[in-house]
Structure 1
Amino acid sequence: MPYAGVALLSGVVASLGTAAALQSRDGEGVRAYLLQNPEVLQEAMDRLRLKQVAAQIEPYRRQIETPFAGAWIGAKDGDVTLVQFFDYACGYCKASLPDVQRLVREDPKVKVVFRELPILSRESEVAARASLAAAEQGRFEVFHDAMYAAGRPSPETIAAAARKAGLDQTKLQTAMNTPRAEQELGKNIELARTLGFTGTPSWVVGNQVLSGAVGYDALKKAVEAARATS
């Protein structure tokens, strides 16, 4: 094994608090330890990945965690913020809704921020714009739930969700096409690209990112991990 490689592994293992890795300068102690404890390398790689993700998130944290108008649920001043990038045409996003609702119901200190990421269809972009308008009218949560209940985005389902949310139709049409809505959608696309998201739902919580319909337990675990390191 090249000495540079031994030195790198020594550093990795030492960073995990393993004095045994430093027993032999020629690397035999390192090699023997790693052969007996291969999980050390996985742990080191996991820590490295978390550090890399945290470095990606931190410069944009305020943009990521600050909601557009009223596009959030849960605790207003929660100690942990869970951010979901979503698309109304995404079946996995719809499937995740009960998990998010349960998390908010059972954890009074968590705040969930929703970021529109309409990447699946033209209709999902129209639904996203209507959702932003609902957020500005203080009716986001009702519209959000109604939109998923109505079915895939279409002129009919969007109108039905807007009626359910009690939105002012005139204000709705105007708000859907404002520069502010355009800027919000553009910002979310750029954030998703920066964070390496390739689909929805995608999540940010603390220094972690999650992809897909990960389920209640994974979301709860991520929130608890963020809370433990805050």
Structure 2
Amino acid sequence: MLRLAAPALTALALIAGPAQALDLSDMSPAEREAFGAQVREYILENPDLILEAFQILEQRRELAEAQADFQLVEANKDELFNDGYSWVGGNPDGDITLVEFMDYRCGYCRRAVPEVAKLLKSDGNIRLVIKEFPILGEASMISSRFAVAAKQVAGDDAYKQVHDALLEFGGEPTEVTLRRLSDNLGLDTDAVFAEMDSDEVTRQIAQTRALAQKLNISGTPTFVLGTELLRGYLPADQMELIAQEVRERG
């Protein structure tokens, strides 16, 4: 009976509020048993009470997580928005920054490409930062090293071309396929391959990984939109609403 009464008591306390909460420790065994029977009967007559209590608990949990994420973003905003090495696109002077942690082997990252493009086109005042976050195996790491090396050797425009091509590419990132890609884009392929294992490329990827760990990011895509940490794929219309909310909060 007490096992039934405990969650019911939690539900009653959540609905009634702290002032109405009851303390079972002040009851005798007989009183506790009688109370448990009454609570069970009440819940059986009012089953929606449990659903309402779960909804309240979920709202509290989401609020606590959102507050924790806000604090994480605030504590790491310099590394997030201005690390000095990540590619910056969209409107470089936009009033809101969208950061994307991505992996070239991630199917949802590929699904997010047109959504991010739609958001940037419809808004026009969002700055985009791409974070190379290879977490899906060796092929992911090779792809990221290749993209970062292309940026080091040939600059931002070359990086964007490589970045887009790798997201569209469905095969394995072997030396043959990456050399073909580099040649097709008119890059200095030997220089890019020589740069792939450089200390600077290693440093950038490691630094981004360390930042992700501080933000408790373990999957891709993960976005930071203004002050909001968004874990997972989102369509453009939802990101537009979040951008609006961020602006309204100032």
TM tier, shorter chain? 0.7 to 0.9
User: Are positions 1:178 and 2:201 aligned together?
Assistant: no
The whole-number CA distance in structure 2 between the counterparts of 1:48 and 1:143 is 39
SS of the aligned residue for 2:76 comes to helix
Check whether the contact 2:104–2:167 (CA below 8 A) recurs between aligned residues. Answer: yes
Instruction: Look up the equivalent residue of 2:162 and give its one-letter code.
Output: F
User: Are positions 1:162 and 2:182 aligned together?
Assistant: yes
Higher-Rg member (1/2): 2
Q: CA deviation at 1:111?
A: 1.1
Check whether the contact 2:92–2:128 (CA below 8 A) recurs between aligned residues. Answer: no
Q: CA deviation at 1:164?
A: 4.0
Match of 2:71 in 1: 55
Match of 2:98 in 1: 82
Which of 141, 145, 158 is the aligned partner of 2:164? 145
- Using the TM superposition, name which of 42-51 and 205-214 deviates more: 42-51
Which of 110, 127, 134 is the aligned partner of 1:118? 134
Check whether the contact 1:70–1:135 (CA below 8 A) recurs between aligned residues. Answer: no
**Percent pairwise identity:** 26
Q: CA deviation at 1:163?
A: 3.1
The whole-number CA distance in structure 1 between the counterparts of 2:177 and 2:249 is 42
- List per-residue Cα deviations over 1:136-172 (Å, max 9, x = no partner): 3222221111112222441244334323433211321
The whole-number CA distance in structure 2 between the counterparts of 1:90 and 1:204 is 18
The whole-number CA distance in structure 1 between the counterparts of 2:118 and 2:84 is 22
User: Are positions 1:226 and 2:242 aligned together?
Assistant: no
SS of the aligned residue for 2:94 comes to coil
The whole-number CA distance in structure 2 between the counterparts of 1:115 and 1:96 is 14
Match of 2:26 in 1: none
CA separation of 1:161 and 1:106: change in aligned 2, threshold 3 A: farther
The whole-number CA distance in structure 1 between the counterparts of 2:19 and 2:116 is 52
Equivalent residue pairs, number: 207
The whole-number CA distance in structure 1 between the counterparts of 2:234 and 2:113 is 11
Match of 2:229 in 1: 209
Check whether the contact 2:85–2:204 (CA below 8 A) recurs between aligned residues. Answer: no
CA root-mean-square deviation: 2.9
- List per-residue Cα deviations over 1:32-55 (Å, max 9, x = no partner): xxx8x8777655544433221111
Which of 117, 120, 123 is the aligned partner of 1:104? 120
Query: TM-score if structure 2 supplies the norm length?
Result: 0.71
Q: CA deviation at 1:95?
A: 1.0
Instruction: Look up the equivalent residue of 1:72 and give its one-letter code.
Output: V
CA separation of 1:117 and 1:167: change in aligned 2, threshold 3 A: same
Check whether the contact 1:202–1:212 (CA below 8 A) recurs between aligned residues. Answer: yes
Q: CA deviation at 1:130?
A: 1.3
Q: CA deviation at 1:122?
A: 0.9
Name structure 1 gaps, 5 residues minimum.
10-20, 29-34
Check whether the contact 1:65–1:83 (CA below 8 A) recurs between aligned residues. Answer: yes
